[in-house]
């Protein structure tokens, strides 16, 4: 497995950018230098993140999200395992 997170990743299983193996490994996101824990999707090359907004759902039952522009820095949360 590579040590570089993908350019784009989504938590929604219906998305073509969803990768369960990478999500199980643990991905952390720094957005504009600040740690974010409510990221639903990100794209490094386009410079945006999609964040969950509370527990609100849209008419299809999906979480409501907001898209923010800025510097996105994904990283793997797992530490060096022995």
Angle 17-19-82 (CA atoms, 0-180°, nearest 5)? 145
Strand ranges of the sheet holding 39-43, from the earlier edge strand across to the other edge: 8-10, 39-43, 48-57, 63-69
pLDDT in tens, 52-72: 998 999 998 988 999 999 999
pLDDT score, position 19: 94
- The domain ranges of the chain are 8-75
Q: For the chain, how are helix, strand and coil distributed in percent, rounded to 5?
A: 5, 50, 45
**What is this structure's pTM?**
0.85
């Amino acid at each position: 497995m590579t040590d570089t997170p993908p350019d784009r990743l989504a938590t929604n299983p219906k998305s073509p950018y969803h990768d369960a193996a990478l999500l199980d490994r643990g991905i952390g996101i720094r957005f504009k230098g600040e740690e974010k824990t409510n990221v639903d999707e990100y794209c490094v090359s386009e410079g945006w993140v999609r964040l969950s907004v509370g527990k609100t759902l849209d008419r299809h039952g999906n979480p409501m999200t907001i898209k923010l522009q800025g510097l996105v820095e994904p990283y793997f949360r797992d530490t060096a395992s022995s």
